[in-house]
Structure 1
Amino acid sequence: MTLSIRLDPELEAELARAAAQTGLSKSELVKAGLREYLARLKPRKTPYELGADLFGGTQAGPGDLAARRKAYLAESLRVKNDR
């Protein structure tokens, strides 16, 4: 697809300098910049979505773990010492 844009003289000069400095064409620089900008616009995952595989589900363990943590720890240590 061909796309035409109008640049103010300062932006055009900056683009030309960057193209000369990097050895890339002005079109390549514009495409790279547009890709980077659009990547930032993509919806980001929520903190929950990022850690969903780390959170417990229905098979996560006993539902009373917070209240009976010491008893569960003691049982776990006893089983380990019996081995």
Structure 2
Amino acid sequence: MTTTVKLPLDLEQSLRQHCAAQGRSISDVMRDALVAYLASTPASAASAFALGADLFGRHAGPVDLATARRQHLADAWGDKHARRDTH
């Protein structure tokens, strides 16, 4: 695969000088630099699903809580006060 990389002039000059002194091509040096960089960089962050996978299914509740939250809140409030009144 061929990739084009735009470098600041001073970096390009340093790269060319380094390659000439080492007797290596620019492609070889850049490949080695990318391999080293990628090896030292941590893997990408886990997805939201992966981060919460151990929590999914642990809590039970109404299946329509998102759409009927006001009704569920009113029911919970009524249940709480009904238990208070019986004690």
Structure of higher CA gyration radius: 2
Q: Structure 2-normalised TM-score?
A: 0.47
Q: Structure 1-normalised TM-score?
A: 0.49
Structure with the greater relative contact order (CA < 8 A, sep ≥ 6): 1 or 2? 1
